Amino acid sequence: MTASMDHPRIVKLIGVSWDSLSDLWVVLELMNGGDLRTLLNKYERLQRPAGFDHKKATIALQVCHALTYLHSLMPPVIHRDLKSRNILLNRAMDAKVTDFGISRERLDQTMTAGVGTSLWMAPEVMLGERYDVKADMFSFGVVLSELDNHTLPYTQAKQRSHDNYGRPMTDASLLQKITTGDVRVEFSGSSPPSVVELG
């Protein structure tokens, strides 16, 4: 699917090579700044202040441009696995979206296969219900919370919540609370209200 995409915010396919059907290599554009999750881990380690600065807002806007492109194709392409690890950066800190391994063209109005990484998934995807491009927008809201706080999604909720025995919330319990809307991603107090509404 990557071969058919041409947008400055999508990692470009350079070519393919093979020795046999079992030895296939895909060569993609070099993004030597690493992935967004690695950068945010560094920010957290260095205790960089939470909130949106110009660079983080630019990264968010660049990801938004990639999603706008995907969703404007005919038929629209739903990424289905948007997360900070699938946002790559170059040395200038420009962001591009990658990993279209589970992306699909939306051939009917909605899709139902439960794919993607759980903490970034929209509730309807987790529940195996029909979904559309809005599922990518939910994932984008989760990425915005990561950009703001530098932490993995729902970290604050897991740290505050314990079961009846005083144990931390399990991943299964967290996912259930996400699907029911009892838990949402969190933003710092310095985040613009319009960004918080997306989360």
- pLDDT score of 84: 95
Asked whether residue 159 is domain-assigned, the answer is: yes
The pTM of the full predicted model, rounded to 2 decimals, is 0.86
Asked whether residue 3 is domain-assigned, the answer is: no
Residue tagged active-site, from 35, 81, 136, 148: 81
Asked whether residue 110 is domain-assigned, the answer is: yes
Asked whether residue 100 is domain-assigned, the answer is: yes
Task: Give 164's pLDDT tier (boundaries 50, 70, 90).
Answer: low
Asked whether residue 52 is domain-assigned, the answer is: yes
Which CATH number is 106's domain given? 1.10.510.10
- pLDDT score of 163: 66
Structure confidence by residue, pLDDT tens digits, 140-155: 999 999 999 999 999 8
- pLDDT score of 150: 96
Cα 139-60-190 angle, rounded to 5 deg: 95
Structure confidence by residue, pLDDT tens digits, 4-41: 788 999 999 898 888 887 888 888 899 999 999 999 99
Range with lowest mean pLDDT among 41-50, 78-87, 120-129, 168-177:
168-177
Q: What is the mean pLDDT of the chain?
A: 86
pLDDT surpasses 90 at 48: yes
- pLDDT score of 30: 93
DSSP string, the chain: -GGG---TTBPPEEEEEEEETTEEEEEE---TT-BHHHHHHHHHHTTPPPS--HHHHHHHHHHHHHHHHHHHSSSPEE-S---GGGEEE-TT--EEE---TT-EE--SS-B----S-GGGS-HHHHTT--B-THHHHHHHHHHHHHHHH-SPTTHHHHHH-B-TTSPBPPHHHHHHHHHHTS------TTS-HHHHHH-
Provide the number of structural domains found in the chain: 1
Strand partners, 111: 131
Q: How far apart are CA 37 and CA 179, in angstroms?
A: 24
- Which range marks the domain in which residue 181 is found? 31-198
- The β-bridge relationship of strands 77-78 and 13-20 is unpaired
Active site residue 81: yes
Asked whether residue 23 is domain-assigned, the answer is: no
Q: How far apart are CA 5 and CA 28, in angstroms?
A: 12
pLDDT surpasses 80 at 182: yes
Task: Give 109's pLDDT tier (boundaries 50, 70, 90).
Answer: very low
Q: Are 116 and 126 in contact (CB under 8 A)?
A: no
Percent of the chain with pLDDT over 90: 56
